[in-house]
Structure 1
Amino acid sequence: MKELLTKAQAMLTKLWNFLLPLWSSLLTRWNAFLEKLSTINIPFLNKKLSPGTIGIAIVVFFAIIVLVCLKSCGKNIVQAPVPVTTALPLSQEIRSFATFDGVVDPYLTVNLDARVKGYLTKIGFADGSMVKKGDLLFVIEQDTYIQDVKLKQAIYTEAKLEYNRQKSLLKENATSQAAVDKALSQYQQSEANLTLAKINLGYTEIRAPFDGLMGRHLLDVGTYLDTTSKGVQLSTIQQISPIYVYFSLNERDFLKFEKNQDPNTERKSEVNTLPIYAGLQSETGFPHEGVLDYAANLISTDTGSLQLRAIFKNENYQLIPGLYARVMAEYGPTRQALLVPMTAVMTDQVGNYVFVLDEAKRAQRADITLGQRFQQNVEVAKGLTPNSQVVINGFINLSVNQVASPTQVTLEAIKLR
C-alpha cells in the first residue's frame, strides 16, 4: 500500500510540473492580448480601457450570447408524450385473511402389534399402499390355536352334557345340589376357556382397523414372535381421510385479531365453524377447504404462539402426512375494495404512491394507503377513486405534470382462493 501511494505521488508531481509551464504561457498570451486591445482608441470614449475591464466585457458579451441561444432553442423544443399503460382500479368484494405455515398430520395413527406367540406366516399388503377396513394384513401360525379351540370345544361340550344330566338327576332326587353346582362351575369354566381359545385364534389374523395408509413391515415372514405384555410391533397404519393440518398463530397476530373484535358482541368460539383453506407447494392458491377443529386454550410460553388445527376431508388423498402446507384463514365481514397491481406502486421517503393521469393526460402523484395484498394485486384503502386512471406500466419515464400517451386496459378479477 505504501508503494502505491509513493507511485501516485510521483505521478501527480510530474503532471503538475507539466501543466504549470503551460498555464503560465497561456496567462502571458492572454495578458498580451488584453494589452493590445487597451491601446485601441475608441471614438466615443475619452480614455483608454484597462486590460481588466476589457476582459470582463468579453466574458459578459459571451455570456449574453449563450443565454440568448439557450432561450431561442428552448422555444423550439417540444417534448413528446410518454407512452404509458393505464387502468381503472379493480373494484371487487374481498375479505380480510391471514396466512400461516402448516404441517399435514394423520387423523389416526395405529401400531399393528402381534398379541400371540408364533411364526409370522403371511404379509398381505405392499409397503406404503392404501388398504381398506378389514383387509388381512398379517397371519401368525394358526395350527396350535386351531387345535386349542377344538380341545376347549370338546371339554365345553362334555361339561355342558354333564351339567344337563346333573340337573335331570336333581329333579328325580338322584343327585345332590352340590354335584349340580360343581357341574355348573365346570361348564362355565369350559365355556370361558373356549371363548379365550377363539379370541387367541382371532389374534393370529391382523386386519386393518380402518381405511388407511400402510407403513413398511417391520418383521419378515418366518420370524418367531415371542410376545410381551406390550406385544410385538409389525407395522403402522395411518388414517388420512379425513386428515389434520396443524398451524400456529403468533402472539403479535393474536393480539391484532383480539383488537379487531367488537367488545360489545358476545365472544363465540370459531372451532367447528371457521373455514380454513390449504394449499401445497406445487399448487396455486388454496384449493383444499376444511374447518377449524381445535384451538389451544393458552399461548405456549416456549414458542409464544397459539396452536391451531384444521380438519380436511382429503377424499383424493392429496394431502399426505408430513407435507408442508400453506394455510389461509378468512376473518371479519366482506367489503368492497379497490385493487391495483403491486408493480404499479412506488415508495419513497413520503410513503407509497402511484401516478394517475388528469383530464389533460398529465401525470400526477397520488399518495395512497395500502391494505392487504391479494396475489399480484394490493388493496388501496385510501388515495384513489374508482375512476382514477392509474399508470400501471411506463411510469418509470414519467414525472409530475408530464404529458402521457395512455393505452387503457382492464384489470381482470382475481380469485381470492
Structure 2
Amino acid sequence: MMRVLSIRPRQGFVCAGLAPVLLLLLAGCQPSSPPPQQAVPEVSVITLKPQTLDVTLPRLAQLESSREVKVVARVSGFLEKISYQEGALLKEGEEMFVMDKRPFEAQLAAAKGELAAAEARLWTAEANLKRIRPLTEADAMSQSDLDQAIGSQRSAQAAVYAARAKVDSARLELGYTTLHAPVTGLSGDALQREGAYLNSSGDSAYLSYVAQIDPIWVNFSISQNELEQYRRLEQEKLLITPELNQYSFELVMSDGSLYPLKGKLDFASPIFDSTTATFQVRAVVPNPDFLLRPGMFVKANILGGKRPNAILVPQKAVIQQGNDQVVMLVNSNSEIRVQPVTTGNWQGDQWIIEKGLKGGEQLVVSGYQKVRPGMRVKALHYLPPDRDAQSAQPSPPMTTKP
C-alpha cells in the first residue's frame, strides 16, 4: 500500500524571503525630503537723490607770458656791456645792455654847437629888426629894408627850431645806447656778446626779451562737440552759467597740488581753428611769487557752472554692454531690473547721468556680478571703501510713487 507524502513549506523561510521586498515597498511609500533652499544673494545699494552740483570742467593747459617784449637796439653801434644776469627776474627800467656812447656824445655836442650858432644868428636878426623898424616909421629907410629884416629874423628863428630838434634827436639817440627792461619779468639769454656790432635795421639788433609772468596766461582749448554740448545743456536748463559768464578756475600742478590762487577767463577766440578742430580759450591768474613759468603744463579746472537736479552714480556701478551702458536697480519687489543709461562728464569718481535715471531708485553698486534680471535679492546699504570695517545694514523698504 502506497503512502502519499505531503510537503509543507517552512513558514519561517517564506517570511525571511519576503522581508527585503517589504522593506523596499515601505521605503517607496514614504514621502521624499524637500531639496535645500538656495540663499537669497545680497547686493549693496544706494538710493539715488537729485542734487545741485558745482560743475568742474577739467582741461589740460599750457602757461604763457602775459606780455613778452623783445629788447631791440634802436641805434647802430658796438655793444659794450651786458649788465644783467641772463634768466634772472628784472624790474621794469633795470639796465640790461650798454652800447658805445662816444659817437653819440659827439653828435650831441655838435648839435648843441649848431643850436648855439643858430641862436646867435637869431639874436643878430632880432637886433637888426629893432633898429630898422623905427627908422622905417620915420621914413629914414624903405619898406623893403623892413621886410628884409623881418624875413631874416623869421629865418633865424626857424633855424633855431631845427637846431633844437637836432639836439633832441642826438640826446634821444644817446639815450638809446642804454637798453633797459621794458617790463618786470623774466629775462632771456643775450643773443649778442660784448664787442658785436649792432645794426639797428638788421637781425643783430635783436638782443633778448623780457617775459612778464605776473599775471600769467593759461591757454587751453574746447572742441566743437563740447561747446555744442554745453549750449544744449544750457538751453535744457541742465547747466546754469555764472552771471555774465564770469567763470573762474583753479590750477592743479603736475604733482597734484592745488595752486593757491584762482584766476578768471580772459578771452575766448570767436574763430574756429580748423587744424585742431577747437576753439582757443585764455585765462589769467595772479602769480606774485613767480611759481608759475611760461611753457609749463598744468590742469585747469573751470569753475562757476552749476548742474541742477543732477544724478550721480559711482563709476563702478555702470556696466558696459557693447556700445551701451546699463545699471542694475532693485525694484519694490526686491527684484533686479536692468536700466539703460546715458552718462555725461565725471564728477570725481562718479558719473553724471544724462538719461535713464530720475532719482529715488535703488542702485546696485556691488554684488551685481552674481545676480541676473528678475532675481530676488537682499539689498544692503552700500558703504564706501573707507567704511568697509563697519557692518552692512539692511536697507529700509523702498517706497514707490503711485
Residue in structure 2 matched with residue 377 of structure 1 by the alignment: 350
Instruction: Name the SS of the counterpart of 1:246 in structure 2.
Output: strand
Alignment of 1:245-394 (within 5 A): 245-260=218-233, 262=235, 273-275=246-248, 278-283=251-256, 288-296=262-270, 298-329=271-302, 334-348=307-321, 351-354=325-328, 356=330, 364-365=336-337, 367=339, 369=341, 370-381=343-354, 390-393=363-366
Instruction: Name the SS of the counterpart of 1:227 in structure 2.
Output: coil
Alignment of 1:115-130 (within 5 A): 115-130=74-89
Residue in structure 2 matched with residue 145 of structure 1 by the alignment: 104
Matches of 1:106 and 1:167, distance apart in 2 = 58
- C-alpha distance after superposition, 1:13-60 (max 9, x if no partner): xxxxxxxxxxxxxxxxxxxxxxxxxxxxxx99xxxxxxxxxxxxxxxx
CA separation of 1:318/1:91 partners in 2, compared to 1, >3 Å: closer, same or farther? farther
CA separation of 1:247/1:193 partners in 2, compared to 1, >3 Å: closer, same or farther? same
Residue in structure 1 matched with residue 150 of structure 2 by the alignment: 177
Residue in structure 2 matched with residue 206 of structure 1 by the alignment: 179
Letter in 2 for 1:202: G
Letter in 1 for 2:108: V
Report deviation, 1:271: 8.8
Structure 2 portions without partners, runs of 5+: 1-16, 19-23, 134-145, 388-402
CA separation of 1:218/1:261 partners in 2, compared to 1, >3 Å: closer, same or farther? same
Matches of 1:293 and 1:164, distance apart in 2 = 61
Report deviation, 1:368: 5.8
Equivalent position to 2:159, from 182, 186, 190: 186
Matches of 1:120 and 1:73, distance apart in 2 = 105
Matches of 1:290 and 1:110, distance apart in 2 = 24
CA separation of 1:367/1:338 partners in 2, compared to 1, >3 Å: closer, same or farther? same
Equivalent position to 1:241, from 214, 219, 239: 214
CA contact (8 A) 1:120 1:222 kept: yes
Letter in 1 for 2:377: Q
2:185 paired with 1:224: no
2:376 paired with 1:401: yes
- C-alpha distance after superposition, 1:156-175 (max 9, x if no partner): 23432442343233212299
CA separation of 1:92/1:126 partners in 2, compared to 1, >3 Å: closer, same or farther? farther
Matches of 2:345 and 2:308, distance apart in 1 = 12
CA separation of 1:405/1:254 partners in 2, compared to 1, >3 Å: closer, same or farther? closer
Matches of 2:202 and 2:382, distance apart in 1 = 80
CA separation of 1:241/1:262 partners in 2, compared to 1, >3 Å: closer, same or farther? same
Letter in 2 for 1:74: P
CA contact (8 A) 2:192 2:204 kept: no
Letter in 2 for 1:246: N
CA contact (8 A) 1:278 1:328 kept: yes
CA contact (8 A) 1:166 1:179 kept: yes
Report deviation, 1:377: 1.5
CA contact (8 A) 2:44 2:379 kept: no
Residue in structure 2 matched with residue 103 of structure 1 by the alignment: 62
RMSD: 4.3
Equivalent position to 1:163, from 106, 117, 122: 122
- C-alpha distance after superposition, 1:183-242 (max 9, x if no partner): 223322221111111111110111111122211111122323243367611102222333
Instruction: Name the SS of the counterpart of 1:152 in structure 2.
Output: helix
Matches of 1:256 and 1:407, distance apart in 2 = 33
Matches of 1:233 and 1:321, distance apart in 2 = 21
CA separation of 1:122/1:380 partners in 2, compared to 1, >3 Å: closer, same or farther? same
Matches of 2:234 and 2:117, distance apart in 1 = 76
Equivalent position to 1:114, from 73, 96, 101: 73
Letter in 1 for 2:126: K
Instruction: Name the SS of the counterpart of 1:181 in structure 2.
Output: helix
Matches of 2:354 and 2:179, distance apart in 1 = 62
Structure 1 portions without partners, runs of 5+: 1-42, 45-60, 413-417
CA separation of 1:92/1:319 partners in 2, compared to 1, >3 Å: closer, same or farther? farther
State percent identity of aligned pairs. Answer: 21
CA separation of 1:121/1:182 partners in 2, compared to 1, >3 Å: closer, same or farther? same
Residue in structure 2 matched with residue 74 of structure 1 by the alignment: 35
Report deviation, 1:391: 4.8
Instruction: Name the SS of the counterpart of 2:190 in structure 1.
Output: coil
CA separation of 1:335/1:173 partners in 2, compared to 1, >3 Å: closer, same or farther? same
- The normalised TM-score by structure 2 is 0.67
Residue in structure 2 matched with residue 57 of structure 1 by the alignment: none
CA contact (8 A) 2:69 2:183 kept: no
Matches of 1:224 and 1:299, distance apart in 2 = 45
Mean CA deviation greater in 85-94 or 216-225: 85-94
- C-alpha distance after superposition, 1:48-100 (max 9, x if no partner): xxxxxxxxxxxxx9xx99xx99x84833x664875x66555476421556544
Instruction: Name the SS of the counterpart of 1:198 in structure 2.
Output: helix
Instruction: Name the SS of the counterpart of 1:103 in structure 2.
Output: strand
Instruction: Name the SS of the counterpart of 1:222 in structure 2.
Output: coil
CA separation of 1:401/1:285 partners in 2, compared to 1, >3 Å: closer, same or farther? farther
Letter in 2 for 1:128: G
